[in-house]
Amino acid sequence: MVPLSWYLSLSAVLFIIGIVGVLVRRNVIVVFMSVELIMNSVNINLIAFSHYLSSITGQIFTIFVITVAAAEAALGLALIVVVYQNKGSINVDEMNVMRW
């Protein structure tokens, strides 16, 4: 059996990669994908705990995380497409106007 801390380390590594992606990349869709990566690392944590603590709650919570991720994808991508149509760019640096 794999010890719990390995799963936790994996999820921490994925989390860090996600955070670095959010901070470093300029393309907003890559930033978006990094956010998905962060959510996934959280899912790993929740399910690992659910398994090792013999409780189903972690898995239930993961379902909600996935739900929210789906909602976020639908809404976020619609926003990105609208922004692209307006500004002609999906660069994070250039999304700096407060008001259209």
If binding is defined by CB under 8 A, does position 98 make contact with other proteins?
no
Q: Does 82 bind other proteins (CB under 8 A)?
A: yes
Cβ 96 to other proteins shortest distance, Å: 11
Structural tokens at position 48: 């690992």
Verify binding: residue 95, other proteins, rule CB under 8 A.
no
Task: Report d(CA 39, CA 34) in Å as an integer.
Answer: 9
For position 42 contacting other proteins by CB under 8 A, the verdict is no
CA gap 84, 71 in Å, rounded: 20
Spatial contact of 75 and 65, defined as CB atoms under 8 Å apart: no
Based on the shown chain and the rule CB under 8 A, indicate whether residue 78 belongs to the binding site for other proteins: yes
| 21 touches other proteins by CB under 8 A | yes
> What type of residue sits at position 24?
V
| 1-20 residues near other proteins, rule: CB under 8 A | 1-10, 12-14, 16-20
Mapping DSSP to helix (H, G, I), strand (E, B) and coil, where does residue 27 land?
strand
Compute the least distance from the CB of residue 8 to other proteins, in Å.
Answer: 7
